[in-house]
Amino acid sequence: MNNKDVGKQLPLMTGRFSEDDYIDFIQEKRNLWLTHGYGPQAYLIDEKFAGWGGLQFENGDADFALILHPNFWGWGKRIFDITIDKAFNEMNLTSITVLFPPSRKNKKALLRFGFIEDETVHIKEQNFIRYRLYNTAFL
């Protein structure tokens, strides 16, 4: 979370990610699992911590988040494919969302995967564009 290249992608990060922030973050994510039965997880690649992500409950939607250390950029599509399979084939979700900061210009991958722009969402005084991917089994 304190990697400068990662931080550029996270508009809600306003300073250094402290040990206290980490403890709060882990508890918040555990609560998602306890409350909703799903939430983000850690990703290990070649037995190294690569980042975290997955589906997490966000205002009634299953929102896909993925934060990887730059050494593991390029793994996102594989992680996304596994997550989509679980979301649509195991959890039978009708759709998932992604919250994308307007400052990030590379939305082409989202559109290639079939996401469509949904609406602007405000979180902690920051704007995000919500994109939605529908499960074709429900269309």
Percent of the chain with pLDDT over 90: 68
pLDDT tens figures, 83-101: 999 999 999 999 999 999 8
pLDDT, residue 7, reads 61
* Euclidean distance between CA atoms 93 and 107, whole angstroms: 23
How many other β-carbons are positioned within 10 Å of the β-carbon of residue 3?
A: 15
Q: Which of 79, 133, 123, 83 is nearest to 101 (CA)?
A: 123
Give the pTM: 0.85
Q: Please report the domains of the chain, with CATH numbers, ordered by start residue.
A: 4-138 (3.40.630.30)
pLDDT tens figures, 10-54: 666 677 778 998 899 899 999 999 999 999 999 999 999 999 999
Copy the structure tokens of residue 19: 């040990």
Long-range contacts of 31-40 (CB under 8 A, 24+ apart): 32/56, 32/57, 38/62, 38/91, 40/65
